[in-house]
Chain A
Amino acid sequence: MTSPTPIDPGSLAIHTQGLGKRFGARAALDGVDLEVPRGVAFGFLGANGAGKTTLIRLLLGLARPTSGTMRLLGRDLPAGSAEALARVGAIIEEPRFHPHLTGRENLHVHAAARDRAAHDRIDGALARVGLAARADEKLKTYSLGMRQRLGVARCLLSDPELLILDEPMNGLDPACILEFRNLIRELVAEGRTVLLSSHLLDEVEKTCDIVAIVDDGRVVAQGSIHEITRGGQRAIDIVAHNAVEAATLLAAVPGVLRATDHEGGLRVTLSPEAPVDREIVTALLRRLLDNGVDVERVAPVRSSLEDRFLTMTTRLEDRS
C-alpha cells in the first residue's frame, strides 16, 4: 500500500484509525486508516459498494462505527461532533430537498439548523453557484445540475472549513462538471478542505491533490496522485522495424520482464527493480541499434490513476 509522509494529526481535517462498520456478517468498512490534510482537495476513490458512502455517513454522525476512532477538524467523534459538524458542509450521495419549496426556502430550512449567521449567507451562496436568478422557483422545476449547485450552496451556509462531497458530479453534463471542478479548486484556494468521493477517476485526477483508494471496505492506497501513479507498472512503448526480432532482443535486456505486441508496436514491461527510465531506454535502444534494428519511436508509458485504480481494486466479477 502506498503511504504518505507522516502528518501531524493536529493538521488533519479528517483522521480515522481502524475504523470499521459491519452490517450483520458483512464488513462495509474494515479497519480504515485515513488521513486528510487541511487545505487540499482530497479524492476518495472506490467502486460502487466499496465503502465510500459508509465512511462519509460515519464521519457525519449518520451511522455509528462498530470499531475504531475518528477525528474531524481536530475533534474526537462522536463526543465533539456538534462542534465539528458546525464547520462542515456535506452533500451525501445526491442532494435532497423539499420539492414543494423554492430553492431559497430550502436554504432557509437548512440555515435554521445552523448558526444564526447562516441566514445571512443565503444570498451570497446562491450567487456563488449561479442560482440567484432561479432561487425563488420551486425545487421541482430544477434540473439535476441545478440541484447539485444548490447542494453546494447549502454546504456554504456554514462557511465550512471542510466540504464532504459524495459523488457530486454524477449525472452532470461536461460543462457542469467543468464548473464544478473550478468551484472545488476555488474553495481549496480559499483554504478550505474538500473531500471528494467519486468513482469518476478522470475528474478526481484533474481536481484533487491527494487521493485514497478504497476497496472492499479497506483503504488500499493513499498519497498524492504522483505517489499513487508512480507505483504503477513501468513500461516503455517502442515502434521498431522487424518487430519479431526486436521483441526477442529486448526480452533479453536485464530488467525487462517481457516485450509484447501492442497497438502496432511493442510494449516493453519492466521489472520493479529495473534501473531508472533514462538508463533502461538507453540500454534498450543500444540493443536494437547494435543489432541493426531501426527504431521509429520510443515513449515511456505513464501509469494513470485509472490504471492504478484498476490494478488495486477488486473487479465486480471477482467480488461476486
Chain B
Amino acid sequence: MPNLRLIQAEVLKLRRRRGMLAVAVGLTLGLMAVAYLVTAIQHGGNPAKYGPAGGAKGFTDSLQFLSVMGFIMAAIVGSTAGSQDIDSGVFRDLAATGRSRTALFLARVGGAWVVVLSILAVTLAADLAGAFAFADGTATPGGSDILQAAAMTLASGALGAALAVGLAALFGSRGPVIGILIAAHLVFEPQLQNVGFLGVARKAIPNSALNRIGDQATSGLDYKLALGTAIAVVLAWIAAALVAGAWRTKTREI
C-alpha cells in the first residue's frame, strides 16, 4: 500500500513543475476569476440586461464550467503524475528498490489527488466568495447548494485525476492521455448521453453521474439517475482506472 512518504514524494514532483501548476491554476481559478470580472463589468454597465456575477444563480452557472475545467485540469495533473517516472526513466530505479509496484502506482494517484483537490478547493472557496461578494442584493447560495457544488467539483477532479493516472500507466506517456480524456469528456460523453438505444447503459457515462451529484439540470435527457447510482458510477470508474493502471504498472517490463 502507498505510504505517506511516497505520496509526499509525488506531491513534491508535481509541486516543482511550475509551468504545469500555472496552467492548472489558470484553467480553474484564473478562468473563473476572469468570468466573474467580465460578468461584473457587464452587470455594472447594464444591470437591466445583465444579472449580477454572483448570487445563487451566478454560483450555479459557474458550477458547470468549474466541473468541466476541473476535469481538464485533473487530466493534466493526473497524466503528469502518471507518466513522469516512466518518461524520466526513474521508474526503473524505484521499482529496483523492491517496493511494491502497486504501492508506487497508488502513490501517484494519491499525489495527483492532493494537488488537484487542493486547487479545486481553493477555486471553490473563491467561487463561493465571489457568489457572495457579487450578489448585488440577490439570493446567495444555501448550504445544500454549496454542498452539492463541492461534491460535484471534487468528484469531477478525483475522477479525472484517477482516469488520467490509470491511462498514463497504460500508455506510458502524457500527451495521448490528455487528448483522450478531453475528447471523451467534452465530445463523446455528451453525444452518448443522447443515443437512445443505449438505454440504461447511459447511466454509466461519467458526465451523467457528475451532473447528478451536483444536481445540475439534465435537459434533453430521457433518463434519470439516483444519487446513490451516480456515486457508484463515479467510484466504479475510479476503481476501473486504478485496477487497469496498477495491473499495467505491475506487469510492465522495464
Binding site for B on A (CB under 8 A): 57, 60-64, 81-86, 88, 90, 92, 95-101, 105, 108-114, 116, 119, 154, 158
Chain B interface mostly:
helix
Contact of B90 among A61, A86, A96 (CB under 8 A): A96
Q: Provide a sorted-by-A list of 27 A–B residue pairs whose CB atoms are within 8 angstroms.
A: A60-B96, A61-B98, A62-B95, A62-B254, A81-B98, A85-B98, A86-B97, A88-B96, A88-B98, A90-B96, A92-B96, A95-B93, A96-B93, A97-B90, A98-B84, A100-B17, A101-B12, A101-B16, A108-B9, A111-B5, A112-B5, A113-B6, A113-B94, A113-B99, A113-B104, A114-B97, A116-B5
Which residue in chain A gives the minimum CB-CB distance to B8? A112
Which residue in chain A gives the minimum CB-CB distance to B90? A96
Whether A109 pairs with B98 at a CB distance below 8 angstroms is no
Shortest beta-carbon distance, B84 to chain A, in Å? 7
B residues 83-109 touching A (CB-CB < 8 Å): 84, 88-90, 92-100, 104
Chain A residues near B89 (CB-CB < 8 A):
96
Total inter-chain residue pairs, C-beta < 8 Å: 81
Assembled-state Cα–Cα distance A239/B8 (Å): 71
Could you list 16 further interchain pairs (A-B, Cβ under 8 angstroms) beyond the known A97-B88, A109-B12?
A: A61-B98, A62-B95, A63-B253, A88-B98, A90-B93, A90-B96, A92-B96, A96-B89, A99-B88, A101-B13, A105-B16, A108-B9, A109-B13, A110-B93, A111-B5, A113-B9
B94, B98, B99, B100: residue with the most chain A Cβ atoms closer than 10 Å: B98
Assembled-state Cα–Cα distance A95/B92 (Å): 10
Chain B residues near A154 (CB-CB < 8 A):
93
Shortest beta-carbon distance, B70 to chain A, in Å? 24
B residues 57-98 touching A (CB-CB < 8 Å): 84, 88-90, 92-98
Chain A residues near B12 (CB-CB < 8 A):
101, 105, 108-109
Nearest 3 Cβ contacts at the A-B interface:
A85-B98, A96-B89, A112-B9
Assembled-state Cα–Cα distance A291/B28 (Å): 99
Which residue in chain B gives the minimum CB-CB distance to A151? B93
Shortest beta-carbon distance, B7 to chain A, in Å? 9
Whether A96 pairs with B94 at a CB distance below 8 angstroms is no
Which residue in chain A gives the minimum CB-CB distance to B254? A62
Whether A82 pairs with B90 at a CB distance below 8 angstroms is no
Which residue in chain A gives the minimum CB-CB distance to B89? A96
Shortest beta-carbon distance, B168 to chain A, in Å? 15
Chain A residues near B98 (CB-CB < 8 A):
61, 81-86, 88
Chain A interface mostly:
loop
Shortest beta-carbon distance, A154 to chain B, in Å? 7
Assembled-state Cα–Cα distance A86/B253 (Å): 20
Whether A98 pairs with B253 at a CB distance below 8 angstroms is no
Assembled-state Cα–Cα distance A135/B94 (Å): 20
Assembled-state Cα–Cα distance A99/B95 (Å): 19
Shortest beta-carbon distance, A55 to chain B, in Å? 14
Which residue in chain A gives the minimum CB-CB distance to B5? A112
Contact of B9 among A62, A92, A109 (CB under 8 A): A109
Shortest beta-carbon distance, A141 to chain B, in Å? 14
Shortest beta-carbon distance, B97 to chain A, in Å? 5
Whether B16 pairs with A100 at a CB distance below 8 angstroms is yes
Whether A113 pairs with B88 at a CB distance below 8 angstroms is no
Assembled-state Cα–Cα distance A90/B254 (Å): 14
Chain B residues near A158 (CB-CB < 8 A):
97
Interface flags, B4-24, vs A, CB<8A=1, else 0: 011011001100110000000
Shortest beta-carbon distance, B119 to chain A, in Å? 19
Which residue in chain B gives the minimum CB-CB distance to A23? B253
Chain B residues near A113 (CB-CB < 8 A):
6, 9, 94, 97, 99, 104
Whether B95 pairs with A61 at a CB distance below 8 angstroms is yes
Interface flags, B243-254, vs A, CB<8A=1, else 0: 000000000011
Shortest beta-carbon distance, A142 to chain B, in Å? 14
Shortest beta-carbon distance, B102 to chain A, in Å? 12
Which residue in chain B gives the minimum CB-CB distance to A99? B88
B84, B94, B100: residue with the most chain A Cβ atoms closer than 10 Å: B94
Chain B residues near A96 (CB-CB < 8 A):
88-90, 92-93
Shortest beta-carbon distance, B22 to chain A, in Å? 13
Chain B residues near A64 (CB-CB < 8 A):
253
Assembled-state Cα–Cα distance A98/B87 (Å): 9
B residues 1-51 touching A (CB-CB < 8 Å): 5-6, 8-9, 12-13, 16-17
Whether A82 pairs with B95 at a CB distance below 8 angstroms is no
Whether B93 pairs with A98 at a CB distance below 8 angstroms is no
Assembled-state Cα–Cα distance A185/B89 (Å): 28
Shortest beta-carbon distance, B19 to chain A, in Å? 9
Which residue in chain B gives the minimum CB-CB distance to A158? B97
Assembled-state Cα–Cα distance A154/B90 (Å): 12
Assembled-state Cα–Cα distance A304/B99 (Å): 41
B residues 228-245 touching A (CB-CB < 8 Å): none
Assembled-state Cα–Cα distance A88/B9 (Å): 21
Assembled-state Cα–Cα distance A165/B16 (Å): 29
Assembled-state Cα–Cα distance A164/B195 (Å): 57
Assembled-state Cα–Cα distance A60/B94 (Å): 10
Shortest beta-carbon distance, A59 to chain B, in Å? 9
Chain B residues near A62 (CB-CB < 8 A):
92, 95-96, 253-254
